Structure 1
Amino acid sequence: MADTPQTAPAVKPANPNFSSGPCAKRPGWTVEALSNALVGRSHRSKPGKARIQQAIDLTRELLQVPADYRIGIVPASDTGAVETAMWSMLGERGVDMLAWESFGEGWVTDVAKQLKLQDVRIIKAPYGELPDLAQVDTDRDVVFTWNGTTSGVRVPNADWIKADRKGLTICDATSAAFAQDLDFPKLDVVTFSWQKALGGEAAHGVLILSPRAVERLETFKPDRPLPKIFRLTKAGKLLEEVFQAATINTPSMICIEDAIDAMEWGKSIGGLSAMQARADANFKVLADWVAKTDWVDFLAKDPANRSNTSVCFSIVDPAVTVLDDAAQAAFAKAMVSRLDKLGAAYDIGAYKDAPSGLRIWAGCTIEASDLAALMPWLDWAFAEELQALKAAA
């Protein structure tokens, strides 16, 4: 490899937090941002409900959610939001399950093995690729991730979803929301969690329902028991209060305040388009580096489908690719560990179930200058580990 630096770079990222969840806090964040949190107050008090409603209103404004869609805050992060939708709505008709990374695979497992639905079609692709979206029948229900957090592969658009579909589309958008265009008229259920693109705190999920999703809830009664945290109806009618700041269970008012702070910051920089532009600019830093670096490549094969948030890389240097899978994984982990110990980058290893490599969060709360500072460190860490590999041979 030509021109590889053999001495450690002089400048580290000012913020070395590049985790894909919980992600970096918004620029300038300090704990003082939480000073107005209603700690010790009931979430059902008038000011408590007002703060929860503020989080819902900011979500609608920033994400440009249609006025007739409901927005609620639910337990258990994005996972809780997706599970609530699947357990409450699936089974009325056949369902197409899309999977091209670990979270999509998890939804497949839950539908096929836990809900045990009979009419399930599984449409899959390996890491780095998208399934053939032309195979999807949107007159059936469809469950998919908009952005595969553990593969760095996203759907390019929602053109493959019919406007006059008969089924519901359930979209896990947790690492896409606030960074990518979500085509709400094509989406009936949208879920995400604050700890991704907003850099917020974990444990809460956001559930967005179209009028068609509400109709399903009010007309379809699943033939299975529903835990309390999944129940969105009572006596055949939507529990409207869940979408009017009366959460199913007690939320953390600190987490609510942190989400409000992140979204107020998003508004202050120019709203959704500005947040997306920051993620796109961050991705460009990474793409420009890959273009001139011969030891690394994107895990996502098609440029049109590459995520601008959870960016995944494969180490493609021949000296590494000739190794067995375990040795390749060890090489990548050694790079990650080296950078972690030096405080140059934290939590940039590939997801545990994904192919070995690196994963770097590039969402809007990341500064492009920090990514630019990180790139020489990646080259240096690779060179160090390659030298160690050759010395051990």
Structure 2
Amino acid sequence: MTKQPDLRPERPFFSSGPTAKPPGWSPDKLDFKSLGRSHRSKYAKGRLKYAIDLTRELLGVPDDYLVGIMPGSDTGALECAMWTMLGARPATIAAWESFGNVWIQDAVKQLKLKDLQVLDADYGEIPDLSAIPQENDVVFTWNGTTSGARIADTDWLAPDREGITINDATSAVFAMEMDWPKLDVTTYSWQKVLGGEAQHGMMILSPKAVERINSYDPEWPLPKLFRIKKKGAIDTAIFEGATINTPSMLATEDYIAALEWVKSIGGRQAMFDRADANAKIVKDWIEATPWLRNMVPNPAQQTNTGVCMVFQGDWIDSLTDEERSAVPGKIARKLEELDVGYDFNGYRDAPPGLRIWCGGSVEPEDIERLLPWIEWAYEELKAGNL
């Protein structure tokens, strides 16, 4: 029997969404003055606008782009973009993991786009993005939350391309720099890299995206939550804090607290650096551990947020498929029982493996303390003790 490690993570939160709260987070630090108020009141609307302005500042969003708060998390924001903008010209949906495949299903089964190119790839891989015509609208996921595969660059997007680009950046923004001049729609949720609360998303629009909304009316009906036009043009009030439906002001205050924490540590570059350092700890450990491999074989495409790994080696190969698929869950459940690490099992639709969130709200010391426990649990499982 191997010896249990001595040290446990101080904060055993390794979920890929909702992710760990920023270090030092406490509900006592939130501004509660907007609670119990109408979201249309001057104070509450001012807080919503402050969240928008702080987002713009910290992400370096260009001045002529619109930033708005949307219902339904990243899903609501992304689907609003698809429902309101696609269908005007040929489109490409590029996917390499679970959530990208949802956008494919939206395009094929719900919107039933007539001129559609689908590019997909297995978990850990990315399709040939150079095959996307520049005249096509394109929907893609910057960073695969469930596979750990991210785009290496935006060279495949021409600066003067005719189509619009819709970028699902929910597990990338605040961990990777966005190439704003090449992005027309960028969406994300508060609950990913910032460790905020769920149910609210952000939608960032370029002037080109605004022009598309103003000039195009899709043939399908739009639910109220997707209606961002008023009197034939985009409703700019939405991007000034007048949300489409009632937001949670408590979640808004939590988002603001996360943004202010990012500002206090040095802005988005500090978040990039923290994620890179955390991911390096995990990637170096995977490289040094013979019974693991990164799910993404190409280092240039390996994420610095939800690092995904799968098991390999003689012992794993000796198991049945059912036994093999149960290994990650048994390790994750045991360490959760011991309050060592929460929610780091791989995504349910992904190949069986582990996924450790390395975004900037996670402390490196906690990751360093988690890894020996995974080794211990693996050896215990091999010995028949789990």
TM-score normalised by L of structure 1: 0.96
Per-residue CA distance 1:201-229 (angstroms, 9 max, x = gap): 00001000000000000001100110010
Equivalent in the alignment of 1:349: 345
Equivalent in the alignment of 2:219: 223
**SS across alignment from 1:107:** helix
Matched, 1:265 2:256: no
Match among 188, 197, 203 for residue 201 of structure 1: 197
Match among 319, 329, 336 for residue 333 of structure 1: 329
Match among 363, 370, 374 for residue 374 of structure 1: 370
Match among 93, 105, 109 for residue 97 of structure 1: 93
**SS across alignment from 1:380:** helix
Equivalent in the alignment of 1:78: 74
Equivalent in the alignment of 1:316: 312
Equivalent in the alignment of 1:187: 183
Matched, 1:58 2:54: yes
Equivalent in the alignment of 1:387: 383
CA RMSD of aligned residues (A): 1.2
Q: In the aligned structure 2, how far is the partner of 1:137 from the partner of 1:297?
A: 34
Structure 1 alignment gaps of length 5 or more: none
**SS across alignment from 2:384:** helix
Structure 2 alignment gaps of length 5 or more: none
1:115-154 correspondence runs (5 A) = 115-154=111-150
**SS across alignment from 1:202:** coil
Match among 164, 167, 172 for residue 168 of structure 2: 172
Matched, 1:300 2:269: no
More deviation in 33-42 or 142-151? 33-42
Equivalent in the alignment of 2:232: 236
Q: For residue 325 of structure 1, report the CA deviation from its aligned partner.
A: 3.2
**SS across alignment from 1:215:** helix
Q: For residue 317 of structure 1, report the CA deviation from its aligned partner.
A: 2.4
Q: In the aligned structure 2, how far is the partner of 1:144 from the partner of 1:324?
A: 36
Q: For residue 77 of structure 1, report the CA deviation from its aligned partner.
A: 0.3
Judge conservation of contact 1:33–1:258 (CA < 8 Å) in 2: no
Quick one: which amino acid aligns to residue 214 of structure 1? V
Q: For residue 33 of structure 1, report the CA deviation from its aligned partner.
A: 2.1
Q: In the aligned structure 2, how far is the partner of 1:325 from the partner of 1:194?
A: 37
Q: For residue 37 of structure 1, report the CA deviation from its aligned partner.
A: 4.7
Quick one: which amino acid aligns to residue 70 of structure 1? L
Match among 281, 284, 290 for residue 288 of structure 1: 284
Matched, 1:211 2:201: no
Distance 1:124 1:322, change over 3 A: farther
Q: In the aligned structure 1, how far is the partner of 2:101 from the partner of 2:173?
A: 20
Q: For residue 235 of structure 1, report the CA deviation from its aligned partner.
A: 2.3
Equivalent in the alignment of 1:364: 360
1:40-51 correspondence runs (5 A) = 40-51=36-47
Judge conservation of contact 1:232–1:242 (CA < 8 Å) in 2: yes
Q: In the aligned structure 2, how far is the partner of 1:132 from the partner of 1:100?
A: 11
Quick one: which amino acid aligns to residue 34 of structure 1? L
**SS across alignment from 2:319:** coil
Quick one: which amino acid aligns to residue 99 of structure 1? A
Q: For residue 34 of structure 1, report the CA deviation from its aligned partner.
A: 2.0
Q: In the aligned structure 2, how far is the partner of 1:190 from the partner of 1:322?
A: 45
Q: For residue 324 of structure 1, report the CA deviation from its aligned partner.
A: 3.6
Judge conservation of contact 1:315–1:321 (CA < 8 Å) in 2: no
**SS across alignment from 1:319:** helix
Identity of aligned residues (%): 51
Quick one: which amino acid aligns to residue 100 of structure 1? W
Per-residue CA distance 1:114-160 (angstroms, 9 max, x = gap): 01111111111100111111111121000000000000000011111
Q: For residue 35 of structure 1, report the CA deviation from its aligned partner.
A: 4.1
Quick one: which amino acid aligns to residue 306 of structure 1? Q
